[in-house]
Amino acid sequence: MSGEADAIIIGSGPGGATVAEVLTRAGWSVVIMEKGRNHLLDHDDMTKPSGDYSNDEIKFTSRYFLGPDPLTEPRAFRLNADEGEHTHVGEVNSIPTTVGGGGTHADGKVPRFREEDFRTHSLLGPQPDAHVEDWPLDYEELEPYYAEVERAIGVAGRAGANPFAAWRSGPYPMPPGAPMYGATLSSTAAEKIGLHPYEAPTAANSIAYDGRPACNNCGFCAFFGCPIHAKGDPVALLTKAMATGRARLMAETYVSRILTNGRRATGVEYIDAAGAMHTMDANLVVVAGGAIETPRLLLLSGLEHPSLGRHLMVHFQTIVVGHFPALSLHPQKGRSVTHVHDDAMAQDDAARAAAKDAGVPWIRGGLVEHSGGGHTIMSARHTPWGRAHAQAMIAGDLRDHMWAFIMQGEDLPYATNAVDLSPSIRDARGYPVARVTYEPGRHELAASKHHGKILQHVLEEMGAEYVIHTSSPGVSYHGIGATPIPESRHVIGTARMGDNPDTAVCDRWGRVHEWDNVIVADSSVFVTATGYGPTLTLVALASRAAHHLADSKPMGPVPGGAVTGENAPSGAASAASAN
Amino acid sequence: MPVWLSEQEYATLLAACQQMMPSGFGGPGADEAGVADYIDTFLGAFTFDPPRIWAGGPSSGRHGGEARFGDFVPLSRLDELAWRMRIEGSQGRPEREFNGPVVGLQQRYREGLAALGADFAEADGKEQRRRLRDDDAFRELLWEHCCEGMYGAPEYGGNRNGIGWSYIDVEGDVQPRGYTDAEVSQP
């Protein structure tokens, strides 16, 4: 088949959707190839969202509605090479495989990185066994793209709320949504011990925005698709791209190989929904499969580089849970997480002392999310069977009386944590699956221990009867049975960017050094993980890369904090203009 | 009339589920909620068209909006392969054994229910619980599905009339009504 568009974009998640929107806005034509199903866009009119999402715990948490299915698209896992080929086959860091990718299941927290996050090596220095380096760009260069994507997807937040945040060229497009009751209590407790909680910047409408309704706090947020599409990432970008008439979205289309001739990609080989193989020519190929599937595809396509697949980072999650028998915290009402704090990323005397005790030069924690208990089926699974079950469910400890902090602890870029091709495990189409090798290092364990104690103190200040401290992946000192397989959906760093082609897979624009016309537009290109979720930064980088290709400029922030759309709450306009 | 299990197997399943979630201890039992029907429907998912794998959306009609949960989502070719593998097992078919044989849920239930004994439904409660405790793997599988059958959306065959939700005072799905800001932020 001959080329039908200016660019082929592999993957329709936040990165691919961003590139599609920017390029089509600039007049380019694109074909988006997504291996997952389309449950996001209306099947008859892809400029509109669909009605497939729902408040359905079985569908989303038991039956892999957003994919990948671990039987037909498994991954392999091992802690390290000493464990042999693998110790587990099935689900590993399963970001959705579906139109919209990881944006569909996220609760939409979208913090920016700070200026210092691009300069970790310069500011803090190296770490043993890890390749901590500075990024090949800085915050000032990325800021206009942060502003553009916040406006394009719709982010609710309050400028100035976070004392650790970097400067902004404009306000947030929308004010924060309603604070969850539990978060108001945990924020008060955190402030009492000197921390600085604030409303999490969230890509879920707090008011009607851009033709989509305000979030109505249904509680089925994290790990669920939004039935009313109040979450904007990436449905806002995909529908805009489709509305130009210059985008074609091919769902259930599995790109098996990027075809190359010397330094140039000539197109892709793909398998359609019926299982037939085809090729499509392209002048530009954009790879946006995420930090596990992107290196997998690059490896399957024959790219060789010492850093390809290496430096996998997932955020070592510290989970501290308090039990509050006298409080009904009703976490099922709200947007999963409404408050966060950044203090665990600051360098202070206590953190420096903890680092010294652990024998590492420094430690950094991560963003701490204030959140509540589980949904009903999940809670039920953890109660006893038999005569005690009903009373345990009525008491609702796991559902209504738990409040937790989850710290997205910064992972360091260890070369031994990596994605490669499994020697023996195959997907249903016969291709080698990704094998994840991941083990937390001394830095991650030290940061988790240090900051976990602080978080425990906050929950005690809040009135917790008892506190449990665990992590994902689990480690033995917690004393609670926990899997070594990380459950984080933040996957980062496996095709790092940099100016040195000997050590970086991609250049400062995300272009693969070895191939002139292949761009990586997802969190594979990250040099370091920081302690922030990757979504907004990968989207900003994708926007920057696409504008560079199209020689166009970002549209800038929302002017003056204007509140747009129907149902704007009274006073919101003046509050927003004060941002 | 069971969808997939034999009458004997269904009777055993009913009794086993009732031991996992008995009535008379503060909540409805598995019988009253239709938990065994949930499991039987799941095992026989492919007797329906579309298969009873994923309920529809965006709303159930229970809190406004159209009643769309009953419009199950059709499966793609790859989805069907995955779910037939999971439910039916690989059955020696090469297209299902790309990573080796897969034992399906139907076989696991058949064998698990048979191991409980043909007289399980007639045994007294203490004996039933003893036999369930003796088979960790089957009991854990059964527990996972009992929880789904008691607390999942009724359109999947269990949680009859939402009884699993009402006895613990939760509303289940709430779109398109949602919750007000005051309900989110106040005690």
B178 in contact with chain A, both atoms CB, cutoff 8 A = yes
- Strand-pairing partners, residue A7, are A30
Region of A5 (left: φ > 0; alpha: ψ -120 to 50; beta: rest) is beta
- Among B86, B178, B185, select the one facing A71 at the smallest CB separation: B86
CA distance A59 to B42: 12
Q: What is the mean pLDDT of residues B149-155?
A: 98
Taking contacts as CB-CB distances below 8 angstroms, the residues of chain A near B143 are 381, 385
Confidence of residue A558 (pLDDT cuts 50, 70, 90): confident
For an interface test with A, give the residue of B184, B185, B186 to mutate (most A CBs within 10 A).
Answer: B184
Question: Whose CA is closest to A468, among A372, A400, A403, A371?
Answer: A403
Candidates B26, B177, B180; nearest CB to A391: B26
- Overall average pLDDT of the A540-560 stretch: 92
pLDDT tens digit sequence for A211-259: 999 999 999 999 999 999 999 999 999 999 999 999 999 999 999 999 9
Contact B78 A71 (CB under 8 A): no
Give bridge partners of residue B64 from the DSSP assignment: B61, B62
Given an 8 Å threshold on Cβ–Cβ distance, is A426 in contact with B60? Answer: no
* Residues in B touching A427 (Cβ below 8 Å): 98
Residues in chain A closer than 8 A to B182 (CB atoms): 178
Residue pair A34/A254 in contact (Cβ under 8 Å)? The answer is: no
Kindly determine whether residue B57 and residue A386, on different chains, have CB atoms separated by under 8 Å.
no
Phi then psi for A289, rounded to 5 degrees?
-95, 0
Report the interhelical angle of B7-20 vs B105-116 (nearest 10°): 80
Q: Residue B1: what pLDDT? A: 85
Q: With a CB-CB cutoff of 8 Å, which residues 17-36 of chain B face chain A?
A: 19-22, 25-27
* Helix, strand, coil tally for chain A in percent (to 5): 30, 20, 50
Residue scoring higher pLDDT (A571 or A359): A359
A54:B178 CB<8 A: no
Q: Is the pLDDT of residue A562 over 80?
A: no
Would you put residue A154 in left (φ > 0), alpha (ψ -120 to 50) or beta?
left
pLDDT of residue A474 exceeding 90, the answer is no
pTM of the model: 0.95
Banded model confidence at residue A575, pLDDT cuts 50, 70, 90:
very low
So what's the pLDDT on residue A472? Answer: 82
The residues near A400 (Cβ < 8 Å, ≥ 6 apart) are A328, A329, A330, A331, A373
pLDDT at A482: 67
Query: How many residues does the structure list for chain A?
Result: 579
Of B76, B129, B177, the CB nearest to A386: B129
Task: Identify the burial level of A82 via C-beta atoms within 10 angstroms of its C-beta, where 0-12 means exposed, 13-18 middle and 19 or more buried.
Answer: exposed
The per-residue pLDDT for A376 is 97
| Predicted local confidence at residue A576, as pLDDT | 34
Of A2-6, A304-308, B61-65, the least confident: A2-6
Percent of chain A with pLDDT over 90: 90
Half-sphere exposure for A191 (CA within 13 Å, toward CB)? 11
Work out the average pLDDT over A418-431: 98
Tell me if chain A has a CB within 8 Å of the CB of B93: no
pLDDT at B138: 98
What's the CA gap between A444 and A360, in Å, rounded? Answer: 10
Are the Cβ atoms of A393 and B27 closer than 8 angstroms?
Answer: yes
Please report the pLDDT score of residue A481 as a whole number.
Answer: 52
Chain A nearest C-alpha distance from B59 (Å): 6
Residue A97 in tokens: 């495989």
Whole-number pLDDT of residue A486 = 84
CB environment B106-121: b (16+ within 10 A), e (fewer): bebbeebbeebeeebb
Give the position of tokens 């930090």: A291
Residue keyed to tokens 């960017």 = A497
ipTM over 0.90 threshold: yes
Q: How far is CA A69 from the centre of its chain?
A: 19
**Model confidence pLDDT, tens digit, residues A310-334:** 999 999 999 999 999 999 999 999 9
Rg over CA atoms, chain B: 18
Of A91-95, A154-158, A473-477, B122-126, the one with minimum mean pLDDT is A473-477
Q: Are B167 and A219 a contacting pair at CB < 8 A?
A: no
Binary contact (B168, A220; C-beta < 8 A): no
A227 CB neighbours in chain B (<8 A) are 57-59, 175-176
From the CA of A500, how many Å to the nearest CA of chain B? 40
Q: Residue A1 — very low, low, confident or very high, per pLDDT cuts 50/70/90?
A: very low
Of B83, B150, B185, the CB nearest to A380: B150
Q: Out of A54, A217, A252, whose CB is closest to B58?
A: A54
pLDDT at A569: 33
Q: Which band of pLDDT confidence, cut at 50, 70 and 90, is reported for residue A130?
A: very high
How does the average pLDDT of chain A come out, rounded? Answer: 93
Q: How confident is the model at residue B15 (pLDDT cuts 50, 70, 90)?
A: very high
Cα dihedral A134, A137, A138, A142 sign: negative
CB contact under 8 A, B151 and A275: no
pLDDT (average), residues A193-220: 97
- Summarize the confidence of residues A557-566 as an average pLDDT: 54
Of A57, A59, A386, Cβ closest to residue B19:
A386
Interacting residues of B136 by C-beta distance below 8 A, sequence separation 6+: none
Confidence at residue A3, expressed as pLDDT on a 0 to 100 scale: 67
Cis peptide before A68, with omega less than 30 degrees from 0?
yes
**Other CB atoms within 10 A of residue A177 CB:** 26
Nearby residues of A128 by Cβ (< 8 Å), 6 or more positions away: A360, A361
Q: Tokens at residue A350, please?
A: 């206590």
